[in-house]
Amino acid sequence: MYKTSIKQKQVLEAINYFINKNQYSPTYRELALLLDCDVNTVFKKVLLLEEKGYIKTTNGKSRSICIQKKVEEKESIFPKKVQ
């Protein structure tokens, strides 16, 4: 299994957090706002996570990010439970 960088793990956690909170997948812009970074940075990290098999997206379709496998939960930057 491929290792993820800290930034990639943060993107994966942000995707998981957003889906748990809203019950639908985030856009790249929403992820960028959540992570306080550029949309292009999010796009690159999402591509890397997809190549590593952590997520799956559908080309040409918005809100299509699906988590395939999770990273170990040692220190998360997002709350565990969303109300």
Across the 83 residues of the chain, what is the mean pLDDT of every consecutive 10-residue run?
A: 82 94 95 96 95 92 89 61 52
Nearest of 23, 25, 29 to residue 43 by alpha carbon: 29
Q: What's the pTM value of the predicted model, to 2 decimals?
A: 0.82
Extended strands (E) in the chain: 55-56, 66-67
In this prediction, residue 82 carries a pLDDT of 53
DSSP 60: T
Q: What is the CA radius of gyration of the chain?
A: 12
Q: Cα separation of 36 and 19, whole Å?
A: 18
Protein fold of 6-67: Arc Repressor Mutant, subunit A (1.10.10)
In this prediction, residue 4 carries a pLDDT of 80
In this prediction, residue 81 carries a pLDDT of 56
